[in-house]
Each structure stands twice: as C-alpha cells, then as structure tokens.
Amino acid sequence: MNPEADAARPRHLLDLAAWSPTQVAALFDTSDVMAQVMTRTIKKVPALQGFTVGTLFFENSTRTRLSFERAARAQSADVISFAAGASSLSKGESLKDTLKTIDAMQADLYVVRHPAAGAPHQLTAWTDAAIVNAGDGRRAHPTQALLDAYTFKTRFPGFTSFEGIKLAIVGDVAHSRVARSNAELWTKLGAQVTLCGPRTLLPDELGERPGVALTHRLTEAVEGAHAVMALRLQHERMAGPLLPSLAEYRARYQVTRDALALAHPDALVLHPGPMNRDVEIEGALADGPRSVVEAQVANGVPVRMAVLYTLLVGGKGRDR
C-alpha cells in the first residue's frame, strides 16, 4: 500500500477535485487486482463482507446502478436499493428527510445519482456514510471518467503516464457530466483535452480549465488525438431545439472512420453509452478494432470495486 496515497485519501468520491494523481494511480492499481478477480471462475472475494452499500437513484439508470451493485456483491457486501421513482418518499418530504430516512438503514456507503448538481455533496452533511457520486446533473460523473481513463491506460502495456496524451471529446458537451469529469481527470493526469461540438452544445466556460481547448471543427479536435470519445445527444435535457438538423449534425460531428484517419495511428474510440449508431458515431467504427466501448462497460465493475474498497476499507468509513 502506498502511504502517500493513503494519508490524505478523501472520504468521498464527489468529483475528482480532491483526488491527487497519486491517489488515482493507487485506485488504478487496486482496479488491476479487481479486474484479475473478475477473470476467475468464482468472481467473488470477501473483501467487503458485512458492509452495506446503498444505491440512491433519483434519476433512472440501469447500467450504472447494476455496475455498482455487481461491484458491491462481488466483494460480498450487502446491497440496499432505493429508486425515487418507485418510492412513496415523494409525499412532500425534503431531500434531507428522505436521506435521513434511508440512512436509518445504516449503510456504510451510498451511491447517489441526482438530477441536481451538488446534491451528492450536500448529502455528506447529513450522514456519516461515504458518498459516491454516480452522476449529478451536468456536473460530474467521476466513476465514468475513472473507468474511461483506466480503459485507455490498460490498452497499452507498459503505459506509464498520461503526459502528452491528447483526448478529443465530441458531441453534446453542454449536457454531459461525462465530458466534464473526463476533462477534469485527464488534465489532472497530464493529458490535453479538446472538447468539440456545435456552438449551442459547447459552453465557453468549459475552456477555462488549464489543459482544455474548445473547437467547433471535428478535424481540429481529432487531429493527432490518442483517444476520441463520442457523446450521445441528450435530447431529453435540451429545453428547445439546439441543433439545426440531425442530418447536419451527422455531417459535421459524427465520429467516423474517415475522421479517425486524422488521429494518432494507435488512437482508441470511446463512448460512454448508450450509443446511437450512425448518429454521433459511425456504426462500423463502434464495432471496429479501435473501439473500446465494450471494454469500457466491462471495466466499470473492477473500477467501481476499487472505489468501494478504497473508501470503505482504505478510508475511515462510518463510525470508524
């Protein structure tokens, strides 16, 4: 165990601001161990036996919730699931009272998804349990960024550093917490990040982070990139029409095999899912040899196992 990584390890994973590059590296090392567990016949270890992980989803999500639940159960933790949709907790109760009610179950860690930016952070004031942000509004989705970077790193044996690496993120950047968390993580690790999309979907303020550049031209974003991530158009979050037409969007921003010809010869293609083939990404590219889309989803489990393990066993946890 790395004492430097351990010393100031955050109690929560709300975003990546509080996590140092050394701590992220330690998390990736733990992810390697967990990934090895998932290749065994018996994909289960007793690491979190006796712990309870609660999932609090105030927005629908199947893939993320299942991934966390699997990560908890693969370490023998108990799981208690709360989905706001199916709940009677809407009888006029405040978020604080809802959390207090849920927290009576005495889970050791809550995985929280909420439509309001900052909601997971707010919850830390009302419980002793650890909080993992599984997506809050457009703000952050840190475990997605961790698994994206981890997926990239593990594709290159002997990979030592993100210094000099160039990541392009293309599409509906405005509504994407995935874009924001990836920009935060990859620049922290030393990479350059270019965000690309039409004017209406690319807010200027995202270019203020050191190491992040903005462009409206796909060719400029992709040129020389080691990793190209395509983002889904989040129509459900768009208040009005933000696109001239879907046909024009495809023509200008679809990540295609042609576009990828401008990238680094070893460039990888990522997509956080769900994927709309032949809209934001060419289907043949998504299914081709450069695509690591399936590896991203698969890495979700070991990376989230590492997050749960680090916060629960490495950290202080509830009442400890």
Does residue 273 interact with a second copy by CB under 8 A?
A: yes
DSSP 8-state code for residue 235? G
Alpha helical stretches, state H, the chain: 3-7, 21-37, 63-73, 95-103, 119-123, 142-154, 177-188, 218-222, 246-253, 257-260, 283-286, 293-309
Residues 6+ apart with CB under 8 A from 282: 254, 255, 256, 257
Does residue 243 interact with a second copy by CB under 8 A?
A: no
Listed residue (177, 184, 252) closest to 212, CA to CA: 184
Of positions 232, 253, 281, 303, contacts a second copy by CB under 8 A: 232
Taking the least distance from each CB to a second copy, the nearer of 120 and 135 is 135
Q: How far is the CB of 234 from a second copy (least distance, A)?
A: 9
Site string for a second copy, 56-85 (x = CB under 8 A): ----xxxx--xx-xx--xx---x-x-xx-x
Q: How far is the CB of 4 from a second copy (least distance, A)?
A: 26
Of positions 208, 265, 289, 320, contacts a second copy by CB under 8 A: 320
# binding residues, a second copy (CB under 8 A): 55
Stretch that binds a second copy, among 9-17, 42-50, 182-190, 262-270 (CB under 8 A): 42-50
Residue with tokens 């994973």: 13
Does residue 238 interact with a second copy by CB under 8 A?
A: no
DSSP-derived 3-state class of residue 153:
helix
Stretch that binds a second copy, among 187-195, 223-231, 251-259, 291-299 (CB under 8 A): 291-299
CA-angle at 74, arms to 68 and 79, nearest 5°: 55
Q: How far is the CB of 90 from a second copy (least distance, A)?
A: 9
DSSP-derived 3-state class of residue 44:
coil
DSSP 8-state code for residue 265? T
Measure the CA–CA gap between 212 and 195, rounded to whole angstroms: 7
Residues 103-132 within binding reach of a second copy (CB under 8 A): 104-106
DSSP-derived 3-state class of residue 177:
helix
- Give the binding site for a second copy (CB under 8 A): 38-39, 41-44, 49-52, 60-63, 66-67, 69-70, 73-74, 78, 80, 82-83, 85-89, 91-94, 97, 100-102, 104-106, 232, 273-277, 279, 294, 297-298, 300-301, 317, 319-320
